[in-house]
Structure 1
Amino acid sequence: MEQPTALFDSYEQDFQQIVASIRDKLDGDADAPSAEQKKAALRRVEMELDEADEMVSQMEIEIQGIPQSIRAQYQSRIKSAKAELARHKKASKDAHGALARADLLGRRATSPYSSENGGENDDRARLLAGTGLLEDGSRRLAESQRIALETEEQGADILRNLRGQREQIENARDTLRTADSSIDRASGTLKKMIRRMYQQRVVTAAIVVVLVLVIAIILWEKLHK
């Protein structure tokens, strides 16, 4: 029989693998030779952060089926996973900001139209563009969180339905056991009735034999007088 914590452990293992991949990408981001490669790495980090969010949601669903006696330690593991995920989300956000600032500074250094008089306006435009990128990243994170919450609610509904079905199956099993016990009692009663019927037949046959013998003796005595 599958242990109640098996799925939780499986989701936690997947979460740790995803987090390790995120960590490797964030650590290797500084060594990327080009801005495009950094952007590609950060896009992959965003997707893996969504996957890690999904794993945490699945862990929260599975913990509902874990016995109360050991649930506290698994709740602590979920709390630790959430804290670790939050750290990597912040690191990803910081990496996006650093990349946006570096991109803005690079454009300013290489732009042939930059001048002392127009530099301030260009800086403002680029900073606004960078802020827009950061806000877009924040919206994506908020959307991912919303999807994760909806998935958690759907999973909880499914779990409740499964529990209801399990209770129905257990009730049906109890009913079958009761019916089986009643059948056994009825079978025993029938066997007793059949045994008594045979006993009554034997007694009746014995009485008939005795009566026949008595009649035969009486006739014999009358015939020989």
Structure 2
Amino acid sequence: MSLVYEGYERQYCELSANLSRKCNSAAVLPDGEKKKQEVSVIQAGLDDADVLIRKMDLEARSLQPSVKATLLAKLREYKSDLNKLKREVKKLTMPNSNQPAHEDLESGMAGAHEANANQRDRLTMSTERLNQSSDRIRESRRTALETEELGVSILEDLQQQRETLLHSHKKLYDVDSAIDRSKKVLTSMSRRISRNKWIVGAVIAALILAIIVVMYFKFFH
């Protein structure tokens, strides 16, 4: 699951639980300025919840189809809960001044009890979803840490392989240098052998010439 989506979901669950508590408190307040202020704060929170719902919807639609279907199903539940909360807030804005006092009291108490039950259910559901989101975030972090450790291990192996290759390259360079030196020695020896051959040839030629001269003087004089 996308970490971005989980972040939005966590924010929404926290906001939804907070709005539920505020609705629960506002339901037992008498009509007046304080109640209007409380309702105004709740309505602003509902606007923020709508924004988070839209963000989650966009993020869910950008994911793979298998994941997207699950997240969109959860989003429908969130939207349904948010619509219920909006209806309850709308009830809070309805005036009760035309009803008799005892009917106001009975209606207010009944509405408060019903609101309390609904808020408790919604709060429980939001808490469960928040816990599930927290578990998924922890699991994602654990997976990220394991992936990071694996990456570090791979980098260490690559570093060792690099050092081995550099060491092998140095050995090859040393061998190449030794071959060059051997080649130079062999070339020098070859030149010396060639020079010695010329010297030996010259000596032999001189000896042959000397023998010819000696024989000439011996037989013709």
CA distance in structure 2 between the partners assigned to 1:192 and 1:160 by the alignment? 48
Q: 2:219 aligns with which of 205, 214, 223?
A: 223
Partner of 2:56: 40
Secondary structure, aligned partner of 1:213: helix
The one-letter code of the counterpart of 1:109 is E
TM-score, normalising length: structure 2: 0.54
1:210 & 1:40 partners in 2: Cα distance?
108
Counterpart in the other structure of 1:90: none
- Counterparts in 2 of 1:58-73, with a 5 A limit? none
- Asked whether 1:187 is paired with 2:208, we answer no
Which residue matches 1:209? 205
Distance 1:31 1:129 in 2: 19
Equivalents in 2 of 1:34, 1:188: separation in Å? 81
Alpha-carbon separation, structure 2, partners of 1:208 and 1:119: 130
Corresponding residue number in structure 2 for 1:109: 88
1:130 counterpart (126, 129, 134): 126
CA distance in 1, matches of 2:112, 2:47: 31
Question: Larger RCO: Structure 1 or Structure 2 (Cα < 8 Å, ≥ 6 residues apart)?
Answer: 2
Does residue 171 (structure 1) correspond to residue 167 (structure 2)? The answer is: yes
Partner of 2:107: none
Instruction: Count residues with an aligned counterpart.
Output: 148
The reply on whether 1:139 has 2:155 as its aligned counterpart is no
Give the counterpart of 2:155 among 156, 159, 163: 159
**What per-residue deviation string (whole Å, max 9, x for no partner) do you get for residues 145-175 of structure 1?**
1111111111112211211221122122111
Q: Deviations over 1:27-85 (max 9, x none)?
A: xx9578688x437348549x8xxxxxxxxxxxxxxxxxxxxxxxxxxxxxxxxxxxxxx
Q: Secondary structure at the match of 1:135?
A: helix
> What percent of counterpart residues are identical?
30
Alpha-carbon displacement from aligned partner over 1:173-202 (angstroms, at most 9, x marks no partner)? 111111111110111111111111111111
Report the structure number with the largest CA radius of gyration: 2
Q: Distance in 2 between matches of 1:132 and 1:185?
A: 79
Structure 2 stretches lacking a partner, 5+ long: 12-45, 64-77, 92-109
Q: Comparing 197-206 with 127-136, which one deviates more in the overlay? A: 127-136
Structure-1 separation of matches of 2:137 and 2:159: 33
Distance 1:134 1:43, change over 3 A: farther
The residue aligned with 2:192 is 196
